[in-house]
Amino acid sequence: MRASKKSKSNFQQTSSPTRVDVGEGRHFVTSLARGLNVLSCFNAHDHVLGNQDIALRCKLPKSTVSRLTYTLTHLGYLVRADARGKYRLGPAMSSLGIVAALERRDIRLSARPLMQELANEAKAMVVLGTRSWLSMIDLEVCRDASSPSLMLDLSAGSRLPLATTAMGRANLAAMEQHERENLLDDLAALDAKAWPRPHRDIELALETVRTLGCACSFGDWRADVNAIAVAFNPGHGIPLMVIGCGGPAAELTPDFLLDAVRPKLLALERRLQGLGNS
C-alpha cells in the first residue's frame, strides 16, 4: 500500500513520542520524563538515532538532548552505535523491560493463533497493542499471507497515534473518565490549533464504542487505511490492551469491517479478556 500524500498533523504522526512539558504539576519531574522520552524514540524501525534525530522527535533543543544521551550512556541505557555519535539501546534497558515483557509474553503467545485466524478469515492485518504515553505500541502483528496488498509497515514495536487510529480511540474509550480527560489535555497541547477536529472525532469515536462496541478509523489516520478495534482488560494488573483489525481501504470497506469482521473481533476480545489471570 502507498502512503497517503495528504500532509499529516501532529495527531497522525507515528514516530514522535509525546512532549513532556505538558500536564506538569509540582510532583512532575521534567528531567526524568525527558530521559524516558528519549528512550521511547527507539523502536524496531529506528534502532539507531543521533542527537539531532532525537531532538526532532522529542521537540527539545539539541544541547538538552546531548546532556540526556550522555547521562543515559553513562548509566548503560544507551550505547554508542558508531563513530558518528549515534546511539542504540543499551543492556540496562533489559532491567526495565523484563517484568513487562514476561507479563505480556503469555498473553501474546495465547493471542497470536487467534489473531492469525482472524487475519486469515478477514484477509486483513490484526494487531495487539497497548498504550505508552501518547502513542499505541504494537506488541504483536498478524497478516493474511494470501493478501499481497497488506504492505502496511507495522511490526512489534511500531507506534501508532492515539487520536486518529482505531486502536488509540478504543484505548481512550476504555479508560477511566478522569484519566482520559487528563490525556486529552496532553493531546491538545501537542497542536492547539489543529486540536478541535481530532477532539471532535474522538468524541464521535467514544459514542461509536458505546453503540457498536468497537472504535473505528476510516481514513482518519491514513487515507488508504480502514480499521476497527476493541480494548480489553487482560487482568493481573496488566494495563489495558487493544486488539485491532484493518488494512487497505479499497478492500476493507467500513461495511465489511462492521458487518463481517466486528462480530469476530468482539468474540476474540471476549476470549482474551482476563487472560492474564489464567
pLDDT in tens, 151-198: 567 777 788 899 999 999 999 999 999 999 989 998 998 889 999 999
Q: What is the pLDDT of residue 261?
A: 98
Q: What is the spatial distance between Cα 180 and Cα 132, in angstroms, rounded to a whole number? A: 14
Provide CATH 1.10.10.10 ranges for the chain.
Answer: 30-94
Confidence tier at 251 by pLDDT (50, 70, 90): very high
Provide CATH 3.30.450.40 ranges for the chain.
Answer: 98-277
Q: Which CATH architecture has domain 98-277?
A: 2-Layer Sandwich (3.30)
Helix (H, G, I), strand (E, B) or coil at 151: coil
**Which residues 6+ apart lie within 8 Å of 114 measured at CB?**
268, 271, 272
Helix (H, G, I), strand (E, B) or coil at 40: helix
Q: Going edge to edge, which strands form the sheet with 225-232?
A: 159-161, 135-143, 125-132, 241-248, 225-232, 215-218
Residue with cell 494495563: 239
Which class is 30-94 in CATH? mainly alpha
**Which residues 6+ apart lie within 8 Å of 164 measured at CB?**
11, 12, 198, 201, 217, 220, 221
pTM: 0.72
Q: Across 37-195, where does the E strand assignment appear?
A: 78-80, 87-89, 125-132, 135-143, 159-161
The mean pLDDT of 122-135, rounded to a whole number, is: 89
